[in-house]
């Protein structure tokens, strides 16, 4: 049941604690967004300096996750929240751990970008990766906005868009296998790019998880509908006869 | 109240009756007035057998008034007027033929402040069964006193001092003595009006644990100011506000995902 936005708790310090928790999530979300977009930018531009910076900044996300863990534990122990407050605290806990993983994927993209920089030069599928990156970035941004504004509609849009990410992932997977068959010198870069594509796909999945939490927060229920999925990479076979 | 037995009408407000099968208590369109004050407004609800039902709400919301309708405790208040129908096992308790003394044995009550009689522990329990003529022999009475104290989880603590005054027990023990006293007359329903509000946290836990055990044998209705207590002990919770039954649902649902804005505000502490 959505609450009237203007209504505040009788106990003002409780209200304050919930606001602090919400701000921590907003801050953590902002950090993850920045880390992720830097990791993609570094990949597209082969910017090793920026990749290194992403690696160095990951600990900030981890620290915020610990902070949010602490805040939620404290609220649960001392405030015994109920109804939408309870859901907000539980969702914050889950979203924080999801954001932390998304941060890890960004960090992994940065690591692999450094590895690719040392491999023989190869820039074949970068434009597809960049397109996938932009799409996932938009999902991350929108789902965080949806979370902070309790916008179920926006969350649902994100939830549905993940299918597009799955499709791009499948086509990228085929593309990379083909490059590897063409020239074995591409294998190092392509293998790393495969993992990067997988990371992007995972970040997309995590965004849909947050979207589901928005639904839970507002309505008290998770979406009942099955999420549309189009990731076929687990079954892809590229025949050697193909060019 | 009407004296004739009529079929139970369906409730007129949009609150699910929350019963699985035959309800132990069925209230339909109950209104209570204290003089000009309309204290309970058209409340309909079913209370299930062998479950704990909690009534919550701010002071003056009508929860205690409604509880007292269930064993006609409001009869003693001259300016109190009640209409609607309350049936226990489909029998109208406001029927003129209803014996109120029998009704109050069937529907026992435990109050906020422990109120043992100024008599021995034994006599506190034995008094009810004796006046209701439930036992013929002294040995039966001894047995009944023991089993009542056992069911209230007090036997081990008092078995060696049954002749000592009930008022000499600790607050928590006194409250369990009152529960044992209510049980002794073999009720089917036990009403509890804030039974733990005068007890410390440990005594409260012991009583809450007892309530959970008693629900296997009795239908229990508890009024409580503590929402966490309602959450801990009950299977269903009713939220009252200004004489209205605002929401009545599974306790878990009411505290995680209430459907009414007023309930939401109350359980999250946004009231007032």
Task: Give the CATH number of domain A10-230; options: 1.10.260.40, 1.20.58.220, 3.40.640.10, 1.20.210.10.
Answer: 1.20.58.220
Residue pLDDT, tens place only, A137-149: 999 999 999 999 9
How far out from the chain centre does Cα B91 lie?
Answer: 18
B-chain CB neighbours of A84 within 8 Å are: 264, 268
Which range, of A193-207, A216-230, B129-143, averages the lowest pLDDT? A216-230
Q: Given B256, B271, B272, which is nearest A83 (Cβ)?
A: B256
Which residues 97-136 of B are in CB contact (within 8 Å) with A? none
More confident residue, A235 or A143: A143
* Cβ–Cβ under 8 Å, residues B65 and B32: yes
- Beta-bridge partner residues of B81: B33
- Return the closest-CA partner of residue B194 out of B67, B108, B69, B107: B67
B10 within some domain = no
**pLDDT of res. B2:** 43
- Return the closest-CA partner of residue B169 out of B159, B158, B156, B183: B158
B-chain CB neighbours of A10 within 8 Å are: 269-272
Q: Are A3 and B256 inside 8 Å of each other by CB? A: no
Shortest Cα distance, chain B CAs vs residue A69, angstroms:
21
pTM across the whole model: 0.80
- Interface mutation vs chain A, best among B247, B262, B265, B270, most A CBs within 10 Å: B270
B189 within some domain = yes
* Cβ–Cβ under 8 Å, residues A135 and A161: yes
B14 within some domain = no
Q: Are A82 and B265 inside 8 Å of each other by CB? A: no
B28 within some domain = no
pLDDT at position A133 over 50: yes
Q: Are A8 and B270 inside 8 Å of each other by CB? A: yes
Q: Return the CA Rg of chain B.
A: 19
CA distance A66 to B128: 60
Q: Which residues of A touch B (CB under 8 A)?
A: 1, 3-4, 7-11, 14, 80-87, 219-221
Tell me the pairing of strands B219-223 and B236-241: unpaired
Residue B208 domain boundaries: 50-61+101-259
Decide if B142 touches A, using CB distance below 8 A.
Answer: no
Average pLDDT over residues B102-115: 93
Query: Where in A150-222 does DSSP place strands (E)?
Result: none
Shortest Cα distance, chain B CAs vs residue A86, angstroms:
7
**pLDDT of res. A9:** 85
DSSP string, A105-125: HHHHHHHHHHHHHHSSP--TT
Average pLDDT over residues B244-264: 94
B40 within some domain = no
Decide if B227 touches A, using CB distance below 8 A.
Answer: yes
Task: Mark A114-123 as b/e (b = at least 16 C-beta within 10 Å).
Answer: bebeeeeebe
CA distance B32 to B237: 21
Q: Are A7 and B265 inside 8 Å of each other by CB? A: yes
Q: How many domains does chain B have?
A: 1
B127 within some domain = yes
- Beta-bridge partner residues of B47: B25
B156 within some domain = yes
More confident residue, A8 or A201: A201
Q: What is the number of alpha carbons within 13 Å of residue B12 lying toward its C-beta?
A: 10
ipTM (interface pTM): 0.70
pLDDT at position A241 over 50: yes
So where are chain A's domains?
10-230
**pLDDT of res. A237:** 81
Residue pLDDT, tens place only, B52-95: 999 999 999 999 999 999 999 998 889 999 999 999 999 999 99
B200 within some domain = yes
CATH code of the domain in which B135 resides: 3.40.50.300
Q: Are B264 and A84 inside 8 Å of each other by CB? A: yes
- Beta-bridge partner residues of B191: B109, B221
pLDDT at position B272 over 80: no
Q: Given A8, A14, A86, which is nearest B256 (Cβ)?
A: A86
> Residue B198: which pLDDT band, with cuts at 50, 70 and 90?
confident
> Residue A128: which pLDDT band, with cuts at 50, 70 and 90?
confident
Spatial neighbors of A36 by CB under 8 A, at least 6 apart, are A102, A103, A105, A106, A109, A136, A137, A140, A203
Q: How far apart are the first and last CA of chain B?
A: 35
């Amino acid at each position: 049941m959505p609450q009237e936005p203007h209504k505040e708790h009788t106990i003002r310090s409780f209200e304050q604690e919930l606001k602090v928790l919400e701000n921590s999530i907003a801050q953590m979300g902002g950090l993850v967004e920045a880390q992720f977009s830097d990791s993609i930018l570094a990949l597209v531009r082969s910017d090793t300096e920026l990749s290194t910076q992403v690696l160095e900044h990951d600990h900030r996300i981890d620290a915020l996750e610990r902070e949010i863990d602490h805040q939620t534990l404290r609220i649960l122990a001392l405030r015994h929240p109920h109804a939408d407050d309870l859901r907000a605290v539980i969702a914050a806990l889950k979203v924080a751990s999801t954001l932390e993983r998304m941060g890890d994927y960004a960090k992994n993209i940065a690591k692999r970008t450094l590895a690719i920089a040392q491999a023989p030069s190869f820039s074949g599928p970068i434009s597809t990766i960049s397109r996938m990156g932009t799409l996932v970035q938009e999902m991350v941004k929108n789902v965080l906005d949806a979370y902070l504004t309790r916008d179920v509609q926006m969350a649902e849009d994100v939830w549905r868009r993940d299918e597009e990410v799955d499709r791009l992932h499948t086509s990228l997977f085929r593309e990379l296998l083909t490059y590897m068959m063409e020239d074995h010198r591409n294998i190092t870069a392509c293998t790393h790019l495969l993992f990067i594509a997988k990371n992007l796909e995972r970040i997309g999945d995590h965004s849909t998880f947050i979207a589901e939490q928005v639904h839970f927060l507002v309505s008290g229920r998770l979406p009942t509908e099955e999420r549309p999925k189009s990731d076929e990479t687990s079954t892809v076979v590229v025949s050697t006869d193909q060019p | 109240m009407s004296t004739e037995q009529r079929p139970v009408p369906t409730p007129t407000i949009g609150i699910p009756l929350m019963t699985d099968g035959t309800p132990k208590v069925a209230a339909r369109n109950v209104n209570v007035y204290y003089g000009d004050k309309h204290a309970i407004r058209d409340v309909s609800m079913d209370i299930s057998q062998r479950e704990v039902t909690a009534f919550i709400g701010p002071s003056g919301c009508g929860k205690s008034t409604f509880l007292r309708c269930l064993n006609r405790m409001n009869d003693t208040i001259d300016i109190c007027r009640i209409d609607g129908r309350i049936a226990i096992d489909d029998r109208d308790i406001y029927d003129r033929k209803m014996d109120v003394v029998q009704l109050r044995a069937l529907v026992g009550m435990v109050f906020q402040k422990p109120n043992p009689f100024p008599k021995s522990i034994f006599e506190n329990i034995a008094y009810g069964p004796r006046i209701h003529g439930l036992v013929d022999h002294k040995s039966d009475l001894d047995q009944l006193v023991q089993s009542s104290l056992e069911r209230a989880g007090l036997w081990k603590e008092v078995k060696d001092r049954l002749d000592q005054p009930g008022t000499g027990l600790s607050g928590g023990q006194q409250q369990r003595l009152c529960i044992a006293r209510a049980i002794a007359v073999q009720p089917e329903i036990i009403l509890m009006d804030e039974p733990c509000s005068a007890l410390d946290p440990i005594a409260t836990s012991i009583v809450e644990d007892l309530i959970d055990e008693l629900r296997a044998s009795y239908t229990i209705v508890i009024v409580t100011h503590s929402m966490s207590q309602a959450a801990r002990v009950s299977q269903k919770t009713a939220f009252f506000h200004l004489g209205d039954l605002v929401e009545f649902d599974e306790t878990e649902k009411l505290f995680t995902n209430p459907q009414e804005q007023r309930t939401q505000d109350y359980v999250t502490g946004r009231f007032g």
